Amino acid sequence: METSDQLDWKHLGFSYIKTDYRYISVWKNGSWDDGVMTEDNYLRISEASTALHYGQECFEGLKAYRAKDGSINLFRPDRNAKRMQDSCRKLLMPEFPVERFIDACKKVVKANERFLPPYGTGGTLYLRPYMIGVGHNLGVKPAPEFIFGLFCSPVGAYFKDGLAPCNFCIADYDRAAPLGTGSQKVGGNYAASLLPHKLAADAGFADCIYLDPATHTKIEEVGAANFFGITKDNEFVTPKSPSILPSVTKYSLMEIAEKRFGMKVSERDVYIDRIDEFTEAGACGTAAVITPIGGISYKGKLHVFYSETEVGPVIRKLYDTLVGIQFGEIEPPQGWIFKVE
Ligand SMILES: *Cc1c(COP(=O)(O)O)cnc(C)c1O
């Protein structure tokens, strides 16, 4: 299929571009309907929808890649489908079946194939599945009806000039509570992160780092990405906490570090006043893949890891391997790549 000729593939950012089709399924009277593909990019919902008032909504984010051999890859969509089911259980929303989630991803990519950036441009087609509570409702209780939707938008390579490190500061706020919804991809967490992000950006940082909400001594999240560090002994370390969002990218990097590079990997406490145990640090997630952390500003001092301007060698090879797998340049571990046919 021909690609969209109005788009400048090499200079795409991360913003909404309306594509041709999106998928919608409605849950009513206890079950999901068959779902449809539609050209309409607006929803018409009750003004009394729980998603609007009580934050009964969750979402996901994953990408489709034009592979080196011309085929289309999805990266571990089953993980996103299961994570969304976990979010749904936490917010008393009906689970959307894993098989149907994956099928919706494939349908949306196929129907919008002309928006899939060509191989070699670094661009991808970002997929945004979401679920919202809708229907007439006033009191604080679960919605009578739900919508599962999935749309896509072409996005550019996060870093146009390779892996550029960024500096971060420590947030003065929490994004989640210890026994709250930090480990689910639900809207409320992100509403709570907008102000801390703005304050960090206004102070010249890429984003803020959240410490554990109970003691404020341990690193939890880097904005909307997971934290990892590489120790002097070449160990891959990432924080363990019930209020961290389990990143598919992070668990994939851990497996690559362990299986391909023979590194020791561990999930454990990462104390902010002991960050000098790391020679390299990074933030990871679907959107940015890996953002190398140049430095962290804490108590008025900037702690620099590998370099403020250059990516370290371990993060470089982890990044190259992950992206190589996603774009079909490197043999993937069993079950990581789903083909869109
Ligand atoms: C989505 C998200 C991540 C990254 O998860 P991926 O599955 O790697 O995209 C990390 N932290 C937060 C808070 C997130 O919302």
Q: Are 145 and 135 within 8 A, CB to CB?
A: yes
Is residue 317 flagged as an active site residue? no
- For ligand 1, whether the C-beta of 285 sits within 6 Å is yes
DSSP assigned state of 254: H
What is the pTM assigned to this prediction?
0.96
**Structural class in CATH, domain 166-326:** alpha beta
Q: Percent of the chain scored above 70 by pLDDT? A: 98
* Structure tokens that stand for 140 in this block: 């604080």
Tens digits of residue pLDDT in 233-282: 999 999 999 999 999 999 999 999 999 999 999 999 999 999 999 999 99
Atom of ligand 1 nearest to the CA of 182: 13
Domain edges within the chain:
4-155, 166-326
Choosing among 3.10.290.10, 3.30.470.10, 3.60.15.10, 3.40.718.10, the CATH entry for 4-155 is: 3.30.470.10
- For ligand 1, whether the C-beta of 328 sits within 6 Å is no
Confidence (pLDDT) at 4: 76
Q: Distance between CA atoms of 200 and 328, rounded to whole angstroms? A: 36
Distance 207 CA to ligand 1 centre (A): 14
Q: Which of 244, 245, 284, 289 to mutate to test the pocket of ligand 1 (most atoms within 8 A of CB)?
A: 245
- For ligand 1, whether the C-beta of 79 sits within 6 Å is no
- For ligand 1, whether the C-beta of 209 sits within 6 Å is no
Q: 7: exposed, middle or buried (C-beta count within 10 Å: 0-12, 13-18, 19+)?
A: middle
Atom of ligand 1 nearest to the CA of 83: 7
Minimum CA distance residue for ligand 1 atom 5: 247
Q: Are 76 and 248 within 8 A, CB to CB?
A: yes
Q: Are 59 and 149 within 8 A, CB to CB?
A: no
Distance 240 CA to ligand 1 centre (A): 15
Q: Distance between CA atoms of 164 and 211, rounded to whole angstroms? A: 24
Residue type, 212: D
Tens digits of residue pLDDT in 299-319: 999 999 999 999 999 999 999
Distance 60 CA to ligand 1 centre (A): 9
Beta bridge partners of 230: 236, 280
- For ligand 1, whether the C-beta of 238 sits within 6 Å is no
Residues of the chain with pLDDT under 50: none
